[in-house]
Structure 1
Amino acid sequence: MKGIVLAGAAVLLTLTAACSGQAASDGGGSWKPRGDVRMIVPFGAGGGSDLAGRAMATALEKSKPGLKVNVENREGGSGAVGYSALLAKKGDGNYLLATENAILSLPLSGQASFTRKDFTPVAKLAEDGAVMVVKKDAPFTTCSDVIDAAKSGRVSVGMSGAFGVDSVIFTMIEQKTGVKFQRVPFESGGELVPAVLGGQIQVALLNPGEVIGQLRSGDLKGLCVTTDKRYTYPEFAALGTAKEQGIDVSYVQFRGFLAPGGLDERERAYWEEAARGIPRTAEFQKWLKDNYLQQAELYGAEFGAYLEQLDTALAPVLKKSS
């Protein structure tokens, strides 16, 4: 009778473990998601963050056969709505978020109660520079021309989020040159191209992948790039850097993903291992090429250290602008 009771208890424990939570583990203590995973994109469809989130979701599925990652756009608050959604999933390894510089700029600007420390850094996979663009008939041929115009008059600039990477770069330019721009915020980079074409704004900073079509067609023209060195991609090689044009500013946007805070080591290990497989997929390499990105990998604690260093560097810039 005693043996029967113990066996029954063992079955009960097994059933309880199998039915609880969002994740499954095998007898060896490994972990894997239970059911579909949700990749939150904290900006609207069509922009660089959306393209990045969808590319990483697809590459994760290829890296981990059987894994299903659904993308959900949770736009609003210059990214704060999406990050807050992940914040509410603390301890749930079935959620991820396509992250970029807003994870740092939002808290530093006082626009969010969370910080980078509330999330689990999984992977930084690429870097994305910015191109300053204007309408084809605009009276500017370089970024220096834009600065000169802003010194003597009004120049309207668009930003994909009031506290996004565009805002940081424009703030850096203002601090270095003494000009002031008229800022017009939008929710995503996908909204900036029609805004420039329609004359709602004069100038925008866009990731190369967001604007290559309009540059090829001639509807928009590029003035400079905000990377430290010129692009090696032929389509952008002729564009000088802001530094070459006398504007001592360089800044790139990183692309990667986070998991919620409060994960255990098995969950952390699963996602880091999955992330390391992403660059080996054809889908990831196609995304890099199609969107003119530079591959730049950091995982786990190294990605966390990178965020800390960038946080320190951004603090004086964003505190002056807030």
Structure 2
Amino acid sequence: MYLRPIQFVDSPVGRDGQVDRLAGGLNWFAGYELILVEGGARVFEAQLPVAGVADAIAALPDALAESATAFRARLTAPRAPLSLGERVIRFDQPQVAGILNMTPDSFSDGGAHVDDPVAAAGAGVAMAAAGAALIDVGGESTRPGAAAVWEGDEISRVVPAIERLSLAGTAVSIDTRKAGVMEAAIEAGAHMVNDVAALLWDDRALEVVAKAGCPVVLMHSPDPKAGGHGEHRYADAVIEVYDWLEARIDAVVAGGVAREKILIDPGIGFGKTVQNNLQLINALALFQGLGCPLMLGVSRKRMIGALSGEAPADQRLAGSIALALRGADLGAQILRVHDVTETVQAIRVWRGLRDAAMMPRL
């Protein structure tokens, strides 16, 4: 049983009892799509108005009614803020995470800061000054076909930059699959782990995160042990990714990580076709049913090129902004981007439109 928020409106003003608020943010919606799945296939779909959803849920069999009530509660509950060093990140509006790659071969900006931690830290501080809530530092490319990086090399790439960023009071996440890199980065001042393998690539990763007590981003990929880009055929990409993330959250909580410190990422571009990616982005609001903040990483990705005449990675700003705003419209709490200044400006304008919609009409 799944509930997908639909029929989004600009404002709740004058709509008491007719709209629900998505995850305590700036998005309100007037309806739900009720989806029932059996044996991996959708067997029932119906649209329910918010004004009548409680009665509709009450009419379901007891087990489904209980599940639907809990799902709705998770969809609408505010997300707990994250304390990252000196920064507290609230999720009542979209936040921006700036990408800082310390690699020679990342698909978009590889080599820009490798072997120069001073310049890298300066770039990170500049992104924070431009409005990024945190800086996501990575020392290993996760593009398709990228060579694996020895743990020691990855540590030597990221730690000097993280130390400088932390001393500057910047919130930092470490983008890595390796437990040893997580440990070294946290020791250097990183406040959060962002793992494209959802703590499955390295057998010690879950233990490290649980011991550190830090927030963690769990990203979906069809085969984390193999690098995340294996081919996979989805009967229903949205439902399969949702179920996978739900099971992974439960496993990580069982491993000692507090649920309120878990964020999720649907893994756009990882083992998914362009169609799968578009389906997932359009269904982002459903993933709020997991009850965790959602990070969306679509910046400069190949799907933008595929939809725009194969524009190269450094010419995908407009497409990146379009997808970031679509994510904001559907409740994504963190937008992971290369182009911080432009994305922050777009989100501030988006926020202005939301604020204006709630002002008294003159």
Question: One fold, TM greater than 0.5?
Answer: no
Q: Which has the higher contact order (CA 8 A, sep 6+)?
A: 1
State the TM-score, normalized to the length of structure 1: 0.26
Structure number with greater Rg is 1
